[in-house]
Amino acid sequence: MDIDLIKRSIRLDRQRLQDTSSDLLIQKNIGKTAVIGQSRAIKERINKNIMALKKELVTLTKKWFVDRDLEHGGRLDKQALKLSEEFGELCAGYLKQNEKLTKDSIGDCAVVIVGLALLIKEDVNQIFKESDNIKRKDAMESFISLNANISEFQLSQGFASKELCRHNLVRSIGYLKSISYELGYNFVACFKMAYNEIKDRKGRWIDGSFVKEEDLG
C-alpha cells in the first residue's frame, strides 16, 4: 500500500468532513439525518486510513531494519541506549520549545522501538496496536512515564525478561502518542517524518550500533 496515497485519501476526507459540517450548519430539518450519517461515515473512513498508514509505516520500518541485518548486526543493549539518546533529544526539543526537534525525536523514538521489538522477537504491529489502550496523561506526566519505561527496559533486557521488555515498549509507544496529542502533534506524521529521514540511509553495524555511511570516514 502506498503511504502517499493513504495520506492523500485522509486529506481529502478531512476536507469532505469540513464541507459536510458546513452543510449541516445551513440545513434545517430536511436532510439533516443524512448529513450526520455521511459525516460519521467519513470519520470512520479517516480512522481506518490512519490505522492503515500506521501499519504501513511499521511494516516499512521493519523492512528497513531487516534489510540492514539488525538481527545479526544490532545489539539489544546498544539499541536500548539509542532509545535513551533519542529520548534525550525529545526532552531537549520540548524544553527549548523547538517544534521540529520535538517532532523529529518523537518519530525517531518510534523507529528505535520498532528495532527493539524485532530484537526481542515480538510482534511490532501488536505492540503498536496495544499502545492505543495506554491511558493518556498530560505532557509532563507522559515524559516522566516514558523515561521510567525506557529505564526499566534497559534493566529488564539485562535479565532477559522478555515479557517485561514487551510491556515497556507498549507503554513507551503509548506515552509517545500521549505527548504528541498533548503538544498538538500527529504521532503518525512524526513517525512518517522519521522514516522518510532514514529510508535511504546506508551504513553498517559496528559493535551493535548502526553507523551512517557518511560517518564511517
What pLDDT was estimated at residue 43?
58
63 and 79 belong to one structural domain: no
Residues facing residue 206 across a β-bridge: 209
25 and 132 belong to one structural domain: no
What pLDDT was estimated at residue 48?
61
End-to-end CA distance of the chain: 37
> In the listed set 67, 102, 117, which residue is the last one of a domain according to the structure?
67
DSSP string computed for 133-192: GSPP--HHHHHHHHHHHHHHHHHHHHTT-HHHHHHHHHHHHHHHHHHHHHTT--HHHHHH
Count of domains forming the chain: 2
Collapse the DSSP code of 202 into the 3-class scheme (helix H, G, I; strand E, B; otherwise coil) and give the result: coil
113 and 6 belong to one structural domain: no
Between CA 194 and CA 198 the distance in angstroms is 7
Task: State which residues form the domain around 181.
Answer: 69-217
Between CA 174 and CA 136 the distance in angstroms is 8
**Who contacts 31 (Cβ-Cβ below 8 Å, separation ≥6)?**
none
196 and 126 belong to one structural domain: yes
For residue 156, what is its C-alpha cell?
A: 529488564
> In the listed set 67, 102, 122, which residue is the last one of a domain according to the structure?
67
132 and 212 belong to one structural domain: yes
177 and 91 belong to one structural domain: yes
117 and 200 belong to one structural domain: yes
pLDDT per 10-residue tile (average), the chain, 217 residues: 56 56 49 56 60 82 93 92 97 97 98 96 94 94 97 81 90 97 95 94 92 85
Number of neighbouring beta carbons within 10 Å of residue 57? 23
